[in-house]
Chains A and B, each alone.
Chain A
């Protein structure tokens, strides 16, 4: 009895192993991404298209929302079980691949990729120690978007300078009441908007992209905290406690009833999400306009915060890295894939994709306008991508905590500057 039981167990084990090996021995690759319903739908269609064009290849989709994606991917990489093809954030690339060996070097598969469709700057953003770890899907920058209809109704002109913005905040409040705020943004957006002001005034970002160390002077750090508080106190930007009380500081603007009602008249956000922001407005965003990037007299820098939207990378452990590279190339350059993917991932960074979308009238005038502005800034080298350390999760958490205390009036600008300098340096040293 005992021996027959063991024999059966061994037989079942052999069958299970055989079945398992059948699955992994084919050209099956896993592709993981985050996004919303529209992106999921478009990506699944693109996968089918790729599979049809490449018989014998199977791409297994693993998709979720953004929340928890990084944690899941980190655990998978730690367990050496990450997907073959991954959508990653720009800042994660250097965290996962400190020496450049964390991902497959896409240059090894240059023969199946049209890398000339990317600009040198784009490729540099995914290169570590000469190895192309990832390619950017698109480049985005935070811009000022205004609900022109709501501002016209209140008789307030779109501001062009920071001083005009403070004046406009006051005017809007006087005309539209205390529920009205000139501009809204998620928690991190408001930190960056204040950073833009200080970057323009002092000419240095918080973290130096070259050295990875804190570059701002004590005076600049103090002004960063001061201006952040001033935006809230002078009724220019939606205050942090208010946003928290409405369901979380990171709750997207388009889900805020005050944005839909036109009480919040502007948004400081990525150009890539503006269609989403407009989706809940009565005119589906037709009243939105992209404003000039606010400037200071004698600004030393554009202050614009721009970087790749997200990137595609191939696992260094993939059994079929060449197919992974080919798939990425397909997503970025194949005319049919570009059509199917449309704007589900923003405006793609490859020249061929942009031209096709423009030709096929897939871009709205506002998107083209914002894209053109960013392209001009990039051509003039007016956008310096931030230090990767600036967007490291530990630095993000630290900055959010400091500015939360500023927003709630728990610490003053001097205390905030001291924390940003001393504690920020300690964190940077550890990264």
Chain B
């Protein structure tokens, strides 16, 4: 028994070493580096809270980038969840060839994060691109999607929302677990489709909505490929997400100390919002078998 335990621990060792070396160590080091001035070439120089002070006082780009990030998350997450749930609801019906459609709707999730699709998106939303050609054909004025700060955000939001496949699959699984007896009972009581959806379906899948909400929020805060490739953060920083700012400061501007400080602020933000979501979940998430709340 004891021999097997040691062997088990030995098998776990590569994973433990991997996590310690490639996750915990960089995690701790990044926190330490956030209190330094570090240009990657010269050794880091301790400067206390200077990076954080600069971020909160003199750096005008930080509040701009933070605002853009929050806006991106606020637009992307609800739209992505709504699209995923809507399509999952449709794909839950027993239709001919439904498996093909399920695969087809999942496809953007595999492709969407790739560089090639981001480049394609840039062509699609260019002034002389497909979207404007379609708009012109319909008699509308073309829009400078990539060149106008009022519209640029929508190009990266749509790219992100388009990749709703993973949430959709999870929603689909949840929808298939809703007992049909409840729908039958509601139908016998004369409930309409909208009532059934909001009074039966949604409450029963709230744990999955909550799971998707947390995952998609974290994912949205980490979004990089889309804005980096499609808009390059512009114009006028209108799509300059914090992830881009961190990357620029750390690797383009030789300012890794400041970049890591930014990362920690982003981490704190995501952690706080996740904590708020977890706290609020007790008021709107219902788990099967849970006792009625007093």
A contact residues vs B (CB 8 Å cutoff): 1-2, 5, 70-71, 74-75, 77-78, 95-96, 98, 102, 240-250, 257, 393-394, 397, 401, 404-405, 408, 410
Contact = CB atoms under 8 A, between A and B. Distances in A.
A241 B146 CA distance: 9
A358 to B, nearest CB: 38
B184 interface: no
Given A1-B3, A75-B40, A241-B148, A408 B235 contact: yes
B7 A245 contact: no
Contact of A405 (B40, B144, B236): B236
B252 A397 contact: yes
Contact of A404 (B41, B42, B235, B255): B235
Given A1-B3, A75-B251, A394-B253, A244 B40 contact: no
A245 B146 contact: yes
Interface in B114-130: 122-123, 126-128
A244 B231 CA distance: 8
Say whether chain B's binding surface is mostly helix, strand, loop, or mixed. Answer: loop
Given A5-B10, A393-B252, A393-B253, A247 B146 contact: yes
B254 interface: yes
Interface in B127-154: 127-128, 144-149
Most chain-B Cβ atoms within 10 A of its Cβ — which of A242, A246, A249? A246
B25 to A, nearest CB: 14
A17 B78 CA distance: 52
A95 B234 contact: no
A299 B127 CA distance: 39
Contacts of B232: 248, 250
Given A77-B41, A102-B41, A404-B236, A242 B251 contact: no
B145 A410 contact: no
For the complex of A and B, the 6 pairs showing the least CB-CB separation, nearest first, are A245-B147, A245-B144, A244-B147, A71-B251, A78-B40, A245-B127
Given A241-B235, A242-B147, A246-B126, 13 more contacts: A74-B41, A78-B41, A98-B42, A102-B41, A241-B144, A244-B144, A245-B147, A245-B148, A247-B122, A248-B146, A248-B231, A257-B128, A408-B236
B279 to A, nearest CB: 39
A74 B144 contact: no
Contacts of A2: 3, 6-7
Given A71-B252, A74-B254, A247 B234 contact: no
Contact of A5 (B7, B247, B252, B253): B7
Contacts of A245: 126-127, 144-148
B41 A247 contact: no
B248 A397 contact: yes
Nearest to A408: B236
A248 to B, nearest CB: 6
Interface in B198-255: 231-232, 234-237, 247-248, 251-255
A244 B237 CA distance: 12
A95 B147 contact: no
Contacts of A397: 248, 252-253
18 contacts: A2-B3, A98-B42, A240-B235, A241-B147, A241-B148, A242-B127, A242-B147, A243-B147, A245-B127, A246-B126, A246-B127, A246-B128, A248-B232, A250-B232, A393-B253, A394-B254, A404-B235, A405-B236
B234 A249 contact: yes
Contacts of B3: 1-2
A242 B42 CA distance: 41
A250 B122 CA distance: 13
Say whether chain A's binding surface is mostly helix, strand, loop, or mixed. Answer: helix
A96 B41 contact: yes
Interface in B154-192: none
A345 B271 CA distance: 49
Nearest to B250: A71
Nearest to B37: A430
Contact of A77 (B40, B123, B231): B40
Interface in B240-294: 247-248, 251-255
Contacts of A401: 237
B127 A393 contact: no
A96 B126 CA distance: 37
B146 A74 contact: no
A410 B235 CA distance: 12
A95 B247 CA distance: 18
Nearest to B58: A426
A395 to B, nearest CB: 10
Nearest to A400: B234
Contact of A247 (B40, B42, B126): B126
A404 B234 contact: yes
A426 to B, nearest CB: 9
Given A95-B41, A249-B234, A408-B235, A393 B144 contact: no
A246 to B, nearest CB: 5
A205 B248 CA distance: 26
Interface in B82-123: 122-123
A333 to B, nearest CB: 31
A216 B232 CA distance: 30
A71 to B, nearest CB: 4
Nearest to A244: B147
Contacts of A243: 147
Interface in B1-26: 3, 6-7, 10
A70 B252 contact: yes
Nearest to A79: B40
Contacts of A250: 232
Contact of B123 (A1, A247, A249, A410): A247
Contact of A248 (B7, B42, B122, B149): B122
A283 to B, nearest CB: 23
B280 to A, nearest CB: 38
Contacts of B252: 70-71, 393, 397
B57 to A, nearest CB: 14
Nearest to B42: A98
A245 B234 CA distance: 10
A244 B7 contact: no
Contacts of B6: 2
Given A5-B10, A247-B126, A74 B253 contact: no
A70 B248 CA distance: 11
Nearest to B248: A397
Contacts of A98: 41-42
Nearest to A248: B232
Contacts of A410: 236
A74 B251 contact: yes
Most chain-A Cβ atoms within 10 A of its Cβ — which of B10, B148, B231, B234? B234
